[in-house]
Structure formats: structure tokens, C-alpha cells
Structure 1
Amino acid sequence: MEFALIQTKPAQAGFKILFLIHLRVAFGKMDTLDNYRQMIQKILDEYAQLSYAYGELERQLIIDQTANHYVLLTLGWENNLRVHGCLVHIDIINDKIWIQRDGTEHGIANELVNAGISKNQIVLAFQPADIRQYTEFAVT
């Protein structure tokens, strides 16, 4: 986003410039947050469309963009047993993507990196905090 100053009094110019810089930073964070939301939703949408080869199972994608929570569930029946479980759980916390649960084969973190998100913006929250330092991803 671009902003322009028009007809500013000299005494107010510094204030308006700082305000516009603040807006630019705030909108930059919002752009990043929106980008994260879109990428997460796109990747999880693709997983939600995959069908199971066995059982009467389906996937349900639950998104709360206000609180930045993303959950992909597996539910249905397999061999007369009820199946209901979390396949993927992602949160956006303090401008980073926290992967709380990843039950995919290829790894959601790898998919996010392939989509252009830096590893230092992804926390493998399913790993203990003392182990995260040995991964290539963010610790917190």
C-alpha cells in the first residue's frame, strides 16, 4: 500500500509521516497475516479434497480466521468403528505459524516452505520446546 502526504503544515509534518510509517508497518503485518491465512487454507483445502481409499471416512476443514485456528479432521466409520481425529492443527500466534499437530505423510511444514514461507516463521509446536532448537524451524 502506498500513502501520500498532501498539503501538510510544517508543525504537523513529522507527526503525519510517523503516522503513515506506522500504518505502512501495520498494513505490512496485515498483508503477512492475510498471506499466511491464504496459504494455510489453500494447502488444507487440498488435503480436505483427498478421498480415503477405505472405510466411510471424510475430512472436515474447520477454520476460525478471527482467532487464527485451522483444524483438519478425519471422521466417519471404518470396520464398524467410529473414527474422529485431528489430522492437522495449525494456529497463527504472534505472527508465526504454529503447527500443533501434523498427521500428513509429507509434512505441512514442508508444504508451507514450498509455498514461500520462511522456516524461521514456522514453529513445530508438536515437538518439545527443548528439541525445537535442533530443527531448522523456529523455536518460538
Structure 2
Amino acid sequence: MDKLTHYQTLIKQILTEYEKISLQVPDPDIDEVLMFDDSRSQYLWFNIGWKNGKRVKAISVYVRIKNNKIYVEEDWTEEGITTELLREGVPKEDIVLAFHAPDTRELTEFAIA
């Protein structure tokens, strides 16, 4: 399996597991949505619905693959998808913490871009 396919599969497995855990405490007013776009290598887990008369729309995790690196654009999970990726053997130099500004990324152990 090539690197791109491996990363796509890995991200989908992790996000699917996150959703399963979250659904153990369901909220009938809020839908958990997973969106996987392999052709563009973009993966999204978000919540949408209405609660107490207010619109709820929140991204839990947004990850994309660009130039054979995993860009973590948004992550509001407790441990972070980065931790899961590392556990699965993805090297730090293949993970970009894209929620940080490029000059801040230089201060991390992860890829800059």
C-alpha cells in the first residue's frame, strides 16, 4: 500500500473510532457527521443541529493530506489526532500542525509544511 492510501485509510479509521466513542453519549438534537473525500484527501468530523433555539455547527477534527504530509487543520479532541497518528507509526516529519502559524510550527517537533 502506498503512503497516500495508507494515510487515508488510517485517518478514516481514527475518525470513525472517535465518532463511535462520541455516539455512546448521543445528543438527539445534534448530528455527528463524518465526511471523507479520498479524491481530494480531506477528512472532516463535525456536529450540526439546533440546541435551545441556537444553531450548532462545530468542527471536531479537520485533516487533509497535502504533499504526502498530514495537515491537522482543526482538532478539538481530548488527546488529539496527532497522538493517534504517532501511535500508528506516522513519523513527526509527516505531520503538520496546521492550526499553528507557520513561524510557530518551527518551534514544534513536527513538520513545518
TM-score > 0.5, shorter chain as reference = yes
Greater per-residue strand proportion: 2
Counterpart for residue 104 of structure 2 = 131
Counterpart for residue 39 of structure 1 = 10
Query: Quick one: distance in 1 between partners of 2:58 and 2:27?
Result: 16
Counterpart mapping for 1:72-83 below 5 A = 72-83=45-56
Q: 1:138 to 1:53 in 2, by over 3 A?
A: same
- Cα offset for 1:54? 5.0
**1:125 match: secondary structure:** coil
After TM superposition, the score normalised by the length of structure 1 is: 0.74
Counterpart mapping for 1:63-78 below 5 A = 63-78=36-51
Q: Check conservation: 1:55, 1:77, Cα contact below 8 A.
A: no
Counterpart for residue 113 of structure 1 = 86
**1:105 match: secondary structure:** coil
Query: Quick one: distance in 1 between partners of 2:64 and 2:12?
Result: 12
Q: Check conservation: 1:55, 1:79, Cα contact below 8 A.
A: no
Provide the identity percentage.
38
- Cα offset for 1:56? 2.2
Q: Between Structure 1 and Structure 2, how many residues are aligned? A: 111
Unaligned runs of 5+ in 2: none
What is the one-letter code of the residue matched to 2:4?
L
**Cα-to-partner distance string for 1:7-51 (whole Å, 9 max, x where unaligned):** xxxxxxxxxxxxxxxxxxxxxxx6111110110000000112222
Counterpart for residue 57 of structure 1 = 30
Query: Quick one: distance in 1 between partners of 2:77 and 2:31?
Result: 15
Counterpart for residue 104 of structure 1 = 77
**2:70 match: secondary structure:** strand
Q: Which moved more, 1:51-60 or 1:97-106?
A: 51-60
After TM superposition, the score normalised by the length of structure 2 is: 0.90
What is the one-letter code of the residue matched to 2:107?
Y
Alpha-carbon RMSD: 1.5
